[in-house]
Chain A
Amino acid sequence: MKDEQLKNIWNMMNDKSGTLGSLDLRTEQFIQSSSGSVQEKIRSLLQNDLILKLISAIAFLLNVFFYLNTLQIIYVCIAGILFWTIMTTIEWKTLQGFNKIADPADPTRDNLSKMLVFLRRKANIYELTIASSQALIFIPGLLIYFFLVYGAVKPMTGESFVVFTILCLIGTIVSFFRTKSQIEFHIKHLTICLSDLNDNSLGFALETIERQRKQDHLIKSLVGLVLILGFLVFIAIYKSIVA
């Protein structure tokens, strides 16, 4: 084969613009930086909330120490610490899961679609655990305030119980909706980024979300059924004991 033949074959190749199809470097770079910023925002939201939860744990422990002689407050603290443990474990696992899927070494479109699937699936858990921090800070914070100012907590009347519960609920609900709007903004942003990539990643991600949602629904229904059955069995046993 002569030199000219080799060069002719080479020249038959797609020219400058053909080799990478419709890839636009600037679009890709923009999307890559957007993907990175979404990752960072979500990660920092979870990390900051975990720091807040750590403060709340310290506050609960301080209350145990302050109110050693007040059994009712000790019960409140134990219940609070149990609730804290559940919420923090869920949130910690969510963060771990997010760190696993948001690997900067992965291609941009993979990262985007994995994040989109993750956020759509876990958004409710994510919003609830973050919102729970409000109650977890409000209750021990208030107890510490009472101890420092009055040295004790007076027995609560029905009215003050309602007022504190309402205040606590308002904080939690506001935080829930604020986080929800943030997550929805990120989901919208990720969806736009994926559709800008002009390939089938968005369709694939949406299919995965739908499939996993169906699985989640099935699991939730089964858990609900087991709980109802368990409750009925419990009532039956209780009635037989009482009778």
Chain B
Amino acid sequence: MKCNIKDFDELLDQHKGIIHKVSMLYTSNREDQEDLFQDICFQICKSYNSYRNEAKLSTWLYRVALNTAITQVRKNKKKTPAETFYENIHYASSGHGKDEGQIQSMFKAIARLNRVDKALILLWLEEKTYDEIAEILGISKSNVSVKLVRIKKSLAKMINGLEQ
């Protein structure tokens, strides 16, 4: 299956924020992040022809990106512990001055979530609807709702704990 380079370039320019965010959330250092970024791009390019406009393009991209990231995390489970997330925080939050502390706490808290919860909170923070989250992650809408309530509670608790 071939990827049309021009289409792919445009697609990448428009949606690279999605890939950056996913690759940042699922890795523990810059090199791994760049590798995951490349892997996701490769996967998108490879499966671009299978996209059939049945879902929104961003929904499809999130699905491909998260599936690739979760698969990579599963493969590198022993190599990359979820807690060693702090290298990303420095360059993700640099330039925000006083807000840096809050962003760091949020990253640290997200890092402690398991890989599926991480995907759920990312999609919710990215203003995806429950329907879209359910479609991307392949779970029911009610499941999304129940899980999100639990995740948000534990996230808020962790952030408050880290800020104190």
Which residues of A pack against B, CB within 8 Å? 1, 3, 6-7, 9-10, 12-21, 23, 25-26, 28-29, 32, 107
Contacts and interface: CB of A to CB of B under 8 A. Distances in A.
Contact of A1 (B99, B125, B127, B160): B160
A7 B102 CA distance: 12
Given A7-B125, A9-B106, A19-B21, 8 more contacts: A6-B106, A14-B95, A19-B17, A19-B91, A20-B34, A25-B12, A25-B38, A107-B31
20 contacts: A1-B155, A1-B156, A1-B160, A6-B155, A7-B125, A7-B127, A9-B102, A9-B159, A10-B125, A13-B93, A16-B16, A18-B92, A19-B24, A19-B91, A20-B20, A20-B37, A23-B34, A25-B37, A29-B38, A107-B35
Contacts of A13: 92-93, 103
Interface of B: 9, 12, 16-17, 20-21, 24, 31, 33-35, 37-38, 41, 91-93, 95-96, 99, 102-103, 106, 125, 127, 152, 155-156, 159-160
A219 B113 CA distance: 54
A26 B127 CA distance: 29
Contacts of A1: 155-156, 159-160
Given A1-B160, A21-B91, A6 B125 contact: yes
Nearest to A109: B31
Contacts of B9: 26
Contacts of A17: 16-17
Nearest to B41: A25
B38 A12 contact: no
Nearest to B37: A20
Nearest to B163: A1
Contacts of A7: 125, 127
Contacts of B125: 6-7, 10
Contact of A6 (B38, B92, B156): B156
A107 B102 contact: no
B29 to A, nearest CB: 10
Nearest to A19: B20
A14 B99 CA distance: 12
A26 B99 CA distance: 33
Contacts of A29: 38
Contacts of A32: 38
Contacts of A107: 31, 34-35
A151 B10 CA distance: 72
Contacts of A19: 17, 20-21, 24, 91-92
Contacts of A21: 91
A26 B33 CA distance: 16
A173 to B, nearest CB: 44
A181 to B, nearest CB: 33
B34 A10 contact: no
B154 to A, nearest CB: 11
A241 to B, nearest CB: 65
A16 B17 contact: yes
A206 to B, nearest CB: 21
A3 B155 CA distance: 10
Contact of B38 (A3, A15, A18, A28): A28
B99 A12 contact: yes
A99 to B, nearest CB: 21
Nearest to B96: A12
Given A1-B156, A10-B106, A25-B38, A16 B20 contact: yes
Interface centre among A18, A19, A29 (most CB of B within 10 A): A19
Contacts of B17: 15-17, 19
